[in-house]
Amino acid sequence: MNDSHRRRSSAATCLAVTAALLAAGCGGKESGSSTQTSLKGAPVKVMVWNPEDTQGSAQPGVRLTAQAYEKWINANGGIKGGPLKVLTCNEKNDPDEAEKCAQQAVADKVVAVVGSYSLAGDRYMPILQKAGIPYLGGTGVSAAEFSNPLSFPVNGGTPAVFAAHGRQLVQEGCKKIAGVRYDLAAAAIVSQFLTLGATSAGGAVPKDIKVPLTATDLAPQVAAATKGTDCVSVILGTASGLFVKSYVQSGAKTKLGSVVGNLTPQLAAGTGGSSGPLEGAAITGYYPPASDPAWKDFLAAAKGDKDIDTTNGANETTWVAFKVFTEAAKQLSTISAKALVQELNTTSGIDTGGLTPALTWNASTALPIKGLDRIHNTTATELTIRNGQIEWAKAGSTFVDVRKVLTATPAG
């Protein structure tokens, strides 16, 4: 029992690994400030930052989504009659650059940093906290996002999605599971939450298969993962394709699954589509699939921009965060960082139009785990790949809440 408690309490120190696991990286353009409309009210300034033109997990879609939201909301009345002005900053996967972005946010007197993506929360959150600027809806890849009082996550990050994934696999009939992840100390946290979810649903402890960072042929890992198992969770981010390639070559038939951002529609299309190995894969996400009507505004705003992947979890989180910001700002007589923090901390529930349950950040809804107490939304979605696309796993599906899974104390 004590070991389990220590494991969950220390989890927040290892969450950065999910940058490679929860979203697909690709190249992008340099960030900058986007254009404004002719709305009459005072501009409402916010900032978004993300890594671009860099090694590692580049996320240009985060900036592009923020700019698409800016254009869309300004074409639909802005924020209380004033235009939303989105300032952008390229943090380049560099903690020093992330710190500079935070300093720029303070200098520019933004109301909030919204829908951003960065691993360097320990560097930028103290700067924002000192200035009283809220960090709304980060992508859940930095430990500070789950502990700093000025952070307002819109999803449950690594703890919720991997616990829900283990639970989903078992409920779909997986009796013996293998989880394939990078051979990094930080990546062990992924295995721990996967185990927590699987065992809470009555399943066995998943086999933990480690992949060297430099590996290019994953045949040994495929062999180890598929031996004596009936399901494999592929948790390798953009390198998941390497695993699937070796899996196909091996002739294995073990069912595959993962959290959103690993086994993607693009990967499914490149491996046979509806007749390929990813058809029927168990996918666990934060939000409804992109085909759900709740995303209609995002799809409309992104229409015609081939660089915005509306199925990318980081991009979806950015859209949700901006929607939350808009709804909260509408309640304020004067829009300021201080007033926004007060509104977010006391709201009885912000409606995101079905993209999440109603969101709150008051003390009564906090996850009661040290280091994870800024997590309030502990839900996830159970999805699948059907006809090469990510869809609800079952008709009539909705959000599943894993709060009890995360807070349960095992017997013994």
pLDDT greater at residue 192 or residue 12 = 192
Q: Considering only CA atoms, which of 85, 39, 40, 42 is closest in space to residue 66?
A: 85
359-369: pLDDT as tens digits: 999 999 999 99
Q: Considering only CA atoms, which of 6, 3, 18, 121 is closest in space to residue 369?
A: 6
E runs forming strands in 93-243: 112-114, 135-136, 151-152, 177-182, 207-211, 231-235
Q: Considering only CA atoms, which of 194, 240, 196, 202 is closest in space to residue 221?
A: 240
Give percent of the chain above pLDDT 70: 89
E runs forming strands in 25-83: 44-50
Q: Considering only CA atoms, which of 345, 360, 286, 362 is closest in space to residue 319?
A: 286
CB 30 within 8 A of CB 173: no
Instruction: Tell me the C-alpha distance between 319 and 288, whole Å.
Output: 13
Q: What is the pTM of this model?
A: 0.90
Give percent of the chain above pLDDT 90: 81
260-278: pLDDT as tens digits: 989 999 999 999 999 999 9
Q: At what angle do helices 313-329 and 337-346 cross, to 10 degrees?
A: 100
Q: Averaged over 30-46, what is the pLDDT? A: 70
Domains and CATH numbers, the chain: 31-156+293-377 (3.40.50.2300), 158-285+382-407 (3.40.50.2300)
Whether the per-residue pLDDT at 377 is higher than 50: the answer is yes
Whether the per-residue pLDDT at 16 is higher than 80: the answer is no
CB 307 within 8 A of CB 282: no
Q: Averaged over 340-354, what is the pLDDT? A: 97
